[in-house]
Amino acid sequence: MFNPDVDIPSLEGKVILITGGNTGLGKETVLQLAKHNPKEIFLAARTPSKAHAAIEEIKSAVPSGNVSFIQLDLTSLQSVKEAAEDFHKKSDRLDLLINNAGIMAVPWSKTKEGYEIQFGTNHVGHALLTKLLLPTLLKTAEQPGADVRVINLSSEGHNMAPGIIYDQDKLETYNTWRRYGQSKLANIYHARELQRRYPSITATSIHPGVIITDLYASQQKTNIVMKMFLPIMKMATLDVPGGAKNTLWAATTPDKAKVRESHYWKPVGSKSGGSFWYAQKTEPAKELWEWTEEELKKNGY
């Protein structure tokens, strides 16, 4: 069983950026990484007060940890651009990007640029962030002994996806769980195509397991199905430290070649091409990448 305390190697000299690092799995991931002496961890989150509170909590547990805040609102491409610019002012290398932030099964709405809120937050925002950080990732990968990785947090929820529906207005006709599933399928496709296009980078996606994080807690208040099943789910779920292990394994295991064997991993380090056949196909991943690139260009990125 993967034990972060002993199985994560020294991260000395490495620079890490993680989105949504102020709560739940993200905060636990930052905490565990901070114990292994990285040069710096950038915690990207939307709300400064929550981020700074998380950083203080992490630093009280790991006084030597060097954790900094970057403001990031994934529902706004302008905010994503500003976050990337902020990062570039502070660091000229990036060894590990963890696209952790996400929303789940929320009511229908759109991002500032008009994307369905879950697809826009979980996929489009992260795709732009990765694109803007890519030159630094590639530059870092050229350095001797470099091990550059991009980890996307996906979910077994991708099984609920209807495929990728590009018509954002049409998505309103699908229930919120299918929209969530699409965004998580997109995370798998994005990592798959990133790895194919840029072989000097190790890119993959992971399912953390079923963890009762803030995402589930908020659903219990508004979703009648979750009200019924959450108490039952709690008996079969991981705690937050357990849920962070798959991310930590994919991000830090010295066996980089193994991580590259699959585009989607179940906990912990269990290879899976994706449960549905379309999650294993190359062509839809390429199609999504090209569509996303065109959309970003339309928006000036």
The residues that are catalytic are 154, 180, 184
CA 281 to chain centre: 21
- Report which secondary-structure segment, H or E, holds 51: helix 48-61
Q: Give the residue among 142, 147, 135 at the shortest CA–CA distance from 260.
A: 147
**Order of strands across the sheet that contains 67-71:** 67-71, 40-45, 15-19, 96-99, 149-153, 202-206, 264-266, 270-272
Direct distance between the N- and C-terminal alpha carbons of the chain, in angstroms, rounded to an integer: 42
Report the alpha-carbon distance of residue 222 to residue 24 in Å, rounded.
20
Report the alpha-carbon distance of residue 191 to residue 247 in Å, rounded.
14
Q: Give the residue among 147, 83, 80 at the shortest CA–CA distance from 120.
A: 80
- Contact call for residues 216 and 128 (beta carbons, < 8 A): no
Long-range contacts of 102-110 (CB under 8 A, 24+ apart): 102/20, 102/153, 102/183, 102/215, 103/215, 104/157, 104/180, 104/215, 104/216, 104/219, 105/176, 105/177, 105/180, 105/219, 105/223, 106/176, 107/176, 107/222, 108/172, 108/176, 108/179, 110/168
